[in-house]
Structure 1
Amino acid sequence: MSEQSKNPTHYRLLSTLKAIGPYLREAQCEQGKYLFDCLSVCVNDKKSPEEREFWGWWLELEQEGEAFEAKYRVGLYDAKGDWMDEKLPKKAIAEVSRTQEGFHQKLIETLATQFGMTLDFHKESAEFG
């Protein structure tokens, strides 16, 4: 493994992380810190799109040398566009967990195959499901 692949540039990481799916919040990323989120379950789809809220998850991914640390959180994405740490209702748990687990697996594989890097959970990370 070359030294270059062990320490990819911020822009190379951004481009690779974007390819995983529609989850990367590029405007809120900076060198070594990346933010992802997923609006998994609409709370009330009868509301107009700009007023809808969603149950889902978000991830703060931080680079620690040649590894990354994942801090997942679950909750409510409100109509103002803010994440709230809230307990998921039973009806949303399965779908939020499914999207979170699928994304996490892709993230592990991408970091390992593209950069030879590992991914660990932060001690405060929310557990799946």
Structure 2
Amino acid sequence: MNTDPNSLTVPLYRLAHSRTGDKGNRSNISVIAWHPALWELLVAQVTEEAVARQFAQRRPSRVTRYLLPQLQAMNIVLDDVLDGGVNDALNLDSHGKALSFLLLDLPVQVPGALVPYLAGPR
């Protein structure tokens, strides 16, 4: 239970930006904090379980998170989310950048003390 009256729930894109790529039926999404002060919050809330829930409709067979603390970044690998891969899929919208936008919509609870570090309107 959150007891901070100044906390906000915001989409992940307010805390981080992303890059993405794909190989076969695997999507690789990086998440990079906008500010180092947000890093620990990202580690705590952008977990493998949270990402798996966010991508539930894509039914990943596995979600693996790799932390890169010196860069305040993480790499998320989602297996079996690309409809068989770019060359096999009829659904081009499920590839590349579209999946990073889905991840960047993940809700994150931000304590009031970190709100000044968020990107976008306050």
TM-score range, shorter chain: 0.3 to 0.5
Superposition TM-score, scaled by structure 1 size: 0.35
